[in-house]
Structure 1
Amino acid sequence: MSAEAGPVHGDEPAPPLAPEPYGPMPHAPSAPPEGMQRQRLHPLTPLLESVRFLTAVAAAVGIQMFTSRNFLFAIYAALAAAVVGGIASLIALQYRGFVIWGRELHIYGGVFTRSHRTVPLDRLQSVDLVRPLQARVFGLAQLNIEVAGGDGTDAKLAYLKHDRAVELRAELLSIAGRPGAQPRTETAEDSTEDVPAGPEPLVPTVTVRKLALASLLEALPVQLTALLLFGTAFAVTGSIFGFTKVATALWFGFFAPALFGYLQSTVSTVNRFLRNCRFRITRDGGNLLIERGLTDTSHETVPVDRVTAVCFDEPILWRRKNWRRVEVWTAAVSQQISVLKSTTALPVGGPAEVAKVAAEALPELPATFAVQRPPRRARWRMPLRWKRTGALLDEKAFVVRHGWWVNTYVALPYARIQSVQVVQGRIQRLQGLATVHAMSAGSVGHTAKAAHRDVEEAVAMAAELRRRADAAAALEAPRLS
């Protein structure tokens, strides 16, 4: 205690403590009582989770059988794998399961190393229903559970019978106070019985033909550029040193690794196409419900009250068709470093569809923005991107534009801005330029950046951003940022 606090009289009794601490009581997780029956996962869960390992084993056995013509080896290996896998599955199932106790979900797992995870349902953000191809074959599904403020998918329940997964999802959302529409079942789409139609889609269904064309146009520039560079390098070096010698050296040193990356890019494009087939987005209360997938299906929930940013992507060959893709970031997902975890709210769409989805994700957000370019003296720093770079203080959000192959608009709501920085490098200082960074709540690697503005403009922009952010966040209850 400091001297200015006054003397302390030891004879006087201490004042009584308050009956309860001020503010909300901290949440303390409580374990279920011993002996409480756990709900088990499906018996095929260990087998489905090890499908990649089993595929690799089958490939190795097949190669061995083909090269050595030893069919008995393949039979013995298959029997050994079946016995070992069956025993391991039975052991694993004895310790895996979950319990709903009060307002908490307890998930148990592990054989040699036991694990017990507690998911507070008070902080539940969404429960997504996912059906990988190997699970759909057996009528199973998994639940991905996201908690606000977490680092993405905090918990996973895999695998359950599809009907049981739908019921459990509804139960968890009800406990958390976030009731949502039930995902449509695949059998309901094909049956002739009367099934509730559910919410109407916000935009028309993206056709397979349109999605395939969009995927091709997005991947085509990079792949054609790579082939052009490879062909030019081969032709030039071959004419100088001889095609045979150059072909051998380039194949082992350059072309083989490049071909692997080329094939990987192609597979990524195909996977993105399959993931966005049968895309459907609806609005149910305060949530956006997204259903997608051809081989692996998913039912995702995006809470509108936790949207931290909306992005509009324009690949270079989409611009003549006036197509865009809409990505939505939420508070929990923004905390991941990987941008692949953002939610695609529209894989491809025209101006009307983009405007509809944008207004649903962030009320009154326009879909087109008249951003202001950086000054001309900054053009040499980004000669290809200068015309497609800019910033704007819109009525609802701070909007920045960047990129050339894929031109992107990032709209950051003022209420979600957590910090604002003005950064000036050495060369920028000589040019009288500076860059404004606006970071959203919980964002890691996801920053709205107004690059290479005049110093006076950058300082004024940062001050105005901070003023608008404080004013918008003060009106929120509860405050997210």
Structure 2
Amino acid sequence: MTETDRTPLPDRPADEPPTDEPPTDEPPTDASPTAGRPTDEAAVPPRRRLHPLSPLLNGARTFVVIVGAISLSQASEFGWQRFGVMLAVISVGAVVFSLVNWANTGYHVVGRELRIHEGLFWRRTRAIPLERLQTVEVRRPLLAQLTGLAELRLEVVGGGKTEAPLAFLTVADAEALRERLVHLSGRVHDQHLFAGTDTRVTPGAEHPGTPSAVAAPTAYPRADRDLPLHAVRNADLVLSQVLTPQTFFLPLGVASVLVQFSFAGNFNLVAIFSTLAAVGGVMLAPARRVLNDWGFRLWDTPLNGEGRGLRMAYGLLETRNQTVPLHRLQAVTVTWPLFWRAKSWLRVRFSVAGVAGPGDGNEQQSDRLLPVGDPETGRRLVALAMPGLDLATVRVQPPPARVRWLHPFAWSRMGVGLNARVLTVTRGVVTRELVAVPYTRIQSVRVVQGPLQRRLRLATVHVDTAGGAGAEAPDRDIHEAWALAAALTARAHAAQAAATGS
């Protein structure tokens, strides 16, 4: 595999706040980038501590992790009396450690930075610039729900993991801090980026190789309060997980095991428990999805009175309340699983710069926009999250016919299309998928050609975003691939120039 070209885009961070305002000699205010660096120590607000029950909950969580790593066979080797003493020592140690950590942890918002101070022997202060904030999430694990507490989690640009998990706060404090952080993070962003936009599609814009002007954004009506958008029925959520390969073929697997047992005449306890464990392992993933997405609700919420975001609440054993500014979305992925097509259902996920891309491997990801829904609901939510994209009118161009030698079944589903504002890529036979990336989120465009592709005069176009998900148009004709890369680069430059007003 060789990489034949990399076309970089302007040297500008993915979420650098655009501004049309001329320089000013006025002193910085709370909305200015320098507001997070006060010159007077008296202006710095006092640090706040986490809730006093935090050491107990964190200690319990540490205790569960340690005990979970000890198997019953290892416990029996210690002897049950010694094992009980060891658990008591672990419990006390975990609580004491959490208590010391709590006593030396504090946080406060200084200007437009969230500062977290922690450490006893090695003091550490983390300053998180709020303009890099991607999402803010309030989580309530089961123990937190029982004690009336919540955990605040932040996702920032370029973060490999969740930043600043503040565990734990009261629910009221967590909600208030979330609203304040989202409010401050949005004040540096240009109004037409922060609000939704509508576009005018130019003739010929659907063809990947046809240059066309990027449509100018127009103002979209804003909400001045939370507007309910959708609530997923729990019955549909459960049925959607019944209509999965694991659940669908589970009865056949159990029946085959029972047939083998009946012919062998051996129904010992080991075989029975092994079968039950296998069934539990198969059903774990669908059951976890149901618990994670239980009671899913979505609102259109105003941010700072100038922009809009999406607020999601879901979860049964662990409730989550997440706010995602619309201008932070890097890509949207729409999926049509095979067994859902009888109900015409689809799933929608999003990607932001601070969170890994969509995927079923990590069920703890907070990337849900619609766990399951009908086409009209999906079309409405995708149009809101990705202005300029209408699922009912998406037009894509398939690859050349010689691609069928590489993908005999999937080649007709491999499409790519450009409209005035969004790149769309389709793929998949068993599970169909559509990935949409707005031009303003494109960081770079690459044309990659492997040995077999060179013989067939094909190439793959990769589109990179700050979120890491991006999109790719595989196995395009080599001339079409270069034309597509040039068109994407030109549109990305034009879209980013229009966004910054330059």
- 2:241 matches 1:215: yes
Say which SS state the counterpart of residue 395 (structure 2) adopts.
coil
Query: Does the alignment pair 1:404 with 2:413?
Result: no
* C-alpha distance in structure 2 between counterparts of 1:360 and 1:135, whole Å: 33
Measured after TM superposition, the shift of residue 107 of structure 1 is: 1.0
**Structure-2 residue corresponding to 1:309:** 331
1:153 deviates by 2.7
Change (3 A) 1:262 1:448: farther
Q: 1:186 matched to which residue of 2? A: none
Using the TM superposition, name which of 277-286 and 58-67 deviates more: 58-67
Aligned pair in 2 of structure 1 residues 408, 475: CA closer, same or farther (>3 Å)? same
Q: Which runs of 5+ in 2 are unaligned?
A: 1-24, 26-31, 189-223, 266-270, 303-307
Give the Å deviation of 1:414.
Answer: 1.8
**Does 2:396 align with 1:374?**
no
Which residues in structure 2 correspond to 1:14-413 (within 5 Å)?
38-55=47-64, 63=72, 76-77=85-86, 79-111=88-120, 113-151=122-160, 153-177=162-186, 199-203=226-230, 205-220=231-246, 227=253, 264=281, 266-285=283-302, 286-333=308-355, 340=362, 341=365, 343-368=367-392, 369-413=394-438
Deviates more, 1:119-128 or 1:308-317: 119-128
SS across alignment from 1:469: helix
Does residue 431 of structure 1 match 2:456? yes
Distance 1:424 1:72 in 2: 65
Contact 1:326 1:344 in 2 (8 A): yes
Q: CA deviation at 1:51?
A: 3.2
Match of 1:468 in 2: 491
Give deviations 1:404-439, integer Å, cap 9, x for gaps. 342210011122222222222221121122222222
Does the Cα contact within 8 Å between 1:105 and 1:120 map onto a contact in 2? yes
TM-superposed deviation, 1:32: 9.6
In 1, Cα distance between equivalents of 2:35 and 2:180: 21
Partner Cα separation in structure 1 for residue 487 and residue 54 of structure 2:
54
SS in 1 for 2:243: helix
8 Å Cα contact 1:400-1:450 kept in structure 2: yes
| 1:148–1:477 distance in 2 versus 1, CA, 3 Å | farther
**Cα 1:198–1:66 shift into 2, 3 Å:** same
Instruction: Give the stretch that moved more between structures: 272-281 or 30-39.
Output: 30-39
Q: For 2:500, which of 453, 477, 481 is the aligned residue?
A: 477
Structure 2 CA distance for aligned equivalents of residues 154 and 61 of structure 1: 29
Instruction: Check whether the contact 2:439–2:491 (CA below 8 A) recurs between aligned residues.
Output: yes
Give secondary structure in 2 for the equivalent of 1:201.
strand
Contact 1:151 1:335 in 2 (8 A): no
Q: C-alpha deviations, 1:134-159, integer Å up to 9, x for none?
A: 21110000111233454453221110
Q: Look up the match of 2:7.
A: none
Could you tell me which runs of 5 or more consecutive residues in structure 1 were left unpaired when the two chains were aligned.
1-19, 180-196, 236-241, 245-250
- What letter is aligned with 2:498? L
CA distance in 2, matches of 1:26, 1:408: 43
Q: Which amino acid aligns with 1:115?
A: R
Q: In structure 1, how many angstroms separate the alpha carbons of the residues matched to 2:91 and 2:489?
A: 62
Task: After TM superposition, give the deviation of residue 276 of structure 1 in Å.
Answer: 0.9
- Residue-by-residue CA offset, 1:183-213 (whole Å, 9 max, x unaligned): xxxxxxxxxxxxxx9623212x211110011
Identity %: 34
Cα contact 2:301–2:311 (8 A) shared by 1: yes
CA contact (8 A) 1:64 1:70 kept: no
Higher mean alpha-carbon deviation, 115-124 vs 216-225, is at: 216-225
Corresponding residue SS for 1:467: helix
Q: Which amino acid aligns with 2:475?
A: H
SS in 1 for 2:47: coil
Change (3 A) 1:59 1:322: closer
- Taking the aligned partners of 1:73 and 1:137, their CA distance within structure 2 comes to 31
Q: How much does 1:386 deviate?
A: 2.3
Count of residue pairs the alignment pairs up: 422
**Structure 1 residue 453 displacement after superposition:** 1.6
Distance 1:461 1:99, change over 3 A: closer
What's the CA shift string for 1:328-383, capped at 9, x where partnerless?
Answer: 11233358999854621111111110011001101131114232222222113123
Matches of 2:98 and 2:356 in 1, distance apart? 36
Which structure would you say has the larger RCO, counting Cα contacts within 8 Å and 6 or more residues apart? 2
| Cα deviation digits, residues 428-452 of structure 1 (max 9, x gap) | 1211222222222x143x2311111
2:212 aligned partner = none
| Gap change, CA 1:70 and 1:461, over 3 Å in 2 | closer
Report the Cα distance in structure 2 between the residues aligned to 1:39 and 1:308, rounded to whole angstroms: 34
1:419 equivalent in structure 2: 444
Letter in 1 for 2:321: H
Deviates more, 1:158-167 or 1:374-383: 374-383
Output the TM-score relative to the length of structure 1: 0.74
SS class of match (2:434): strand
Q: Counterpart of 1:373 in 2: which secondary structure?
A: coil
Q: CA RMSD in A?
A: 4.3
Given residue 374 of structure 1, which amino acid in structure 2 is its aligned partner? P
Q: CA offsets, 1:50-86, max 9 Å, x none?
A: 4344236667999589969987657645544444344
* Contact 1:65/1:74 (<8 A) preserved: no
Q: Deviations over 1:255-297 (max 9, x none)?
A: x8x9989755532322221111111111123111111111111
Q: Separation in 2 of the partners of 1:31 and 1:83?
A: 43
What secondary structure is seen at the aligned counterpart in 1 of 2:295? coil
**What does residue 458 of structure 1 align with?**
481
For 2:127 and 2:372, how far apart are their aligned partners in 1? 38
Structure 2 CA distance for partners of 1:461 and 1:124, relative to 1, 3 Å: closer
